[in-house]
Amino acid sequence: MHSSRKWFKLIVWLGILANLGFAVWALFVNPHQILSTLGLGEVNTTIWVFNYSILLVFVSLFQIPAAQDPLRYRANAWLLVFGRLVPASSYFIGVYLGFMPRGFLTLGMADGAFGIVQLILLRRLLKDAGA
């Protein structure tokens, strides 16, 4: 297996595990604790965290085919990159405009780092494959 493909697979799986870790913590451990720990703001209800966590699980499931074979599941591979970079951008913009707590910068940096590395590796992988 080509090194770009191995690295892409590893980074995607690390991102999936990060997503699932957040979701499990929010769904089954303590949603108020994750909000507090990450500085995402105080809330009266954690329903948005529950919904966000369920969506993270489904987004992660859609990333698995691309992690296994990004050339065959090219659309999934591109979508997972955009699925990291778009939320990261929205977190940075939300904090900058003042309608999101500063803790969202942590989520933005995590999603942004995964997205940028995945973008670089995917482009390299596709170039090497002649696609």
Alpha carbon distance 8, 128 (integer Å): 13
What tens digit of pLDDT does each residue of 15-51 get?
999 999 999 999 999 999 999 999 888 888 889 899 9
Parse the chain into domains and list their residue ranges: 3-128
pLDDT score for 46 = 85
Contact at 8 Å (CB) between 65 and 76? yes
Q: Give residue 98's region: left, alpha or beta (phi > 0; psi -120 to 50).
A: left
